[in-house]
Structure 1
């Protein structure tokens, strides 16, 4: 019994730590309407602050991920927790665009040292079907942390002000540090030699080329890139869209929705958490590539449908919104588990680094592209403007899904 408990401790630590590190993930998205008004930000500036997180993330993610092939990933994870705490605490002191952008970038650097290194911690300790299921829960708990972030930010900002929400988010990574230190043991990579980090760890081009030689690795990396562009763009603007749909869409001064925008976004996100876990189980039965194609096409079309329903009765709007959230998350764990399965053990850190670099590069573009689309089509004051925003987000997934569909029918996949 005790041996079984000890075996599950790393998974429990990483899943709980994932939630704690994500407590600040949605804070800016929830507070975007408030900060946009208080700081007099344009839609483009608002989107750039959201994209700042991803700029910080992609600037260092390959460095951390490649190092996990050469040193204990736990050390990198703990450093990431500390950096995340600093970024969120600094955001809580911001009074305008530039400091907010810098703070969000620092938070992105911190998360880059926790998310993929955390996945590496798990891949070093679990194998086979257990590994795939642990990955699906790890990905789902990313969404769970985001949902809790949405709800807690809304409540804290309503009762104590928006700066308190950032302070609370900053405490999460510190608690994750304590938990991971207590429930995991150091485990350096097998045959790892003493290594001094250098620039080749930031851009391990030879290792990336080795990863990209494998067609299935290319498939999962490309899919993750367009998936993240859509997912993070939608998350960054979800609360602002619900605010619009609650009042302006039907010409009302007060919201017609049954709860605040932050609460609704949190509930929709929370309800979609299981989609990642269930999606991975379905993919194990019907095939990863087939399930990914379905998820990509469904999410891109449902995004347009949700935007078109902005002025529809609120039960219809929320139902379509829930289906959209579920479709976006349905292939998330499948993509990650597929890449880990397709990559060689000695290249797994480099593969995850490239996967995360390109994926979160797409995530960086998502919020900014959405904001630019709104500014170019009526500044988000009409239903058509929001349809344009979601069309930009879903274009990559739609094209990827169609291409893979016809590619598979040709007999080459």
Structure 2
């Protein structure tokens, strides 16, 4: 951005999806099955399969992972949207500059979420999917609140807590999606995946707004307590989800470890 301007930032980022399109088009062979023939019919009912969504929500396992993904995305997008402003506030509160620009530092920290998501899914195979999701969400809540309380301290502590929060936010991402695919019935799997994304990114839409609203109500961005309450407002949903899981485990949502 410093060299070319913000227009080029978006242009370069747009090359990613375009490259993915070329990979799928040119390098991935088609499935070994009969090709579909016939006219393409796009119907509103197919875009919003409400009846199939109801069936997905009636499946306790599938709906559990859908709601889990919703609160996961709410916390994830709230954190990513406000982390730069939080770093700026921390630098002002402590009078100590970070070793990198706030925007650069936020970008570096986000990279820790990629291996965390992959490794988290591997750990799931050993400890059980529901148990791992609960551990991750509770730890993420603790890390988020600890990060909010770190204002005024040394930059290395703030960065360490931010990395820890980023890791645990993402540690259950792959698990929630994979287990939704496994749990949904075959005849509604596509609709269930669509609802999973719809509710997940709906949570992602609400998260930053909830954070900002609480930040203003609690005393504005110049108040440390306001930042604490804002973080509480987005991590509390994961804690509530864990309580929901504990209740449902006694009423049919049984965790079966894979063979």
Q: TM-score, normalised by structure 2?
A: 0.90
Residues matched between the structures, number: 253
Q: State how far apart, in whole Å, the 2-side matches of 1:261 and 1:329 are.
A: 21
Q: Would you say 1:274 and 2:115 are equivalent positions? A: yes
1:312 and 2:153 are equivalent in the alignment: yes
Counterpart contact for 1:228–1:363, Cα < 8 Å:
yes
Judge conservation of contact 1:302–1:324 (CA < 8 Å) in 2: yes
> Partner residue of 1:62?
none
Q: How far apart are 1:407 and its partner, in Å?
A: 4.2
Which secondary structure state, in structure 2, belongs to the residue aligned with residue 347 of structure 1?
helix
Which whole-Å deviations, capped at 9, do the CAs of 1:344-401 have from their partners, x for residues lacking one? 3332210100111111111110111111122222321121121121111112111111
User: In the alignment, is the contact (CA less than 8 A) between 1:297 and 1:402 conserved in 2?
Assistant: no
Are residues 1:159 and 2:3 paired? yes
Name the counterpart of 2:220.
379
Task: Provide closer, same or farther for how the CA distance between residues 192 and 271 of structure 1 changes in structure 2, counting only shifts above 3 A.
Answer: same
Change in CA separation of 1:190 and 1:406 when aligned onto 2, cut-off 3 Å: farther
Counterpart position of 2:67? 222
What is the CA–CA distance in structure 1 between the aligned matches of 2:134 and 2:76, rounded to whole Å? 16
Q: CA deviation at 1:338?
A: 0.3
Give the one of 28, 32, 45 matched to 1:184. 28
1:279-310 Cα distance to aligned partner (Å, 9 max, x none): 11111111101111111111122111101102
User: Structure 2: how far apart are the matches of 1:191 and 1:344?
Assistant: 24
Instruction: Within 5 Å, give how 1:296-311 maps onto structure 2.
Output: 296-311=137-152
What does 1:12-411 correspond to in 2, within 5 Å?
A: 157-187=1-31, 194=38, 195-246=40-91, 248-250=92-94, 252=95, 256-408=97-249
Task: Give 1:163 shift.
Answer: 2.3
Q: Which runs of 5+ in 1 are unaligned?
A: 1-156
Q: Report the Cα offset of residue 161 of structure 1.
A: 2.1
Task: Work out the CA distance in 1 between the residues paired with 2:155 and 2:234.
Answer: 23
Bigger relative contact order, structure 1 or 2 (CA pairs below 8 A, ≥6 apart): 2
- Whether the aligned pair in 1 keeps the contact of 2:61 and 2:253 (CA below 8 Å) is no
Q: Which runs of 5+ in 2 are unaligned?
A: 255-259
TM-score of the superposed pair, with normalisation by structure 1: 0.58
CA–CA distance in 1 between the matches of 2:183 and 2:248?
Answer: 19
Please give the alpha-carbon distance, in whole angstroms, between the structure 2 residues aligned to 1:208 and 1:406.
23
SS of the equivalent of 2:3 reads: helix
Contact 2:70 2:200 in 1 (8 A): yes
Q: Quick check: 2:60–2:253 contact (8 Å CA) kept in 1?
A: no
The equivalent of 1:115 in structure 2 is: none
Q: Which whole-Å CA distance do the structure 2 matches of 1:384 and 1:406 have between them?
A: 32
TM superposition shift of 1:410 = 7.5
For 2:32 and 2:152, the matched residues in 1 are separated by 55
Instruction: Please give the alpha-carbon distance, in whole angstroms, between the structure 2 residues aligned to 1:330 and 1:207.
Output: 29
Q: How far apart are 1:158 and its partner, in Å?
A: 2.2
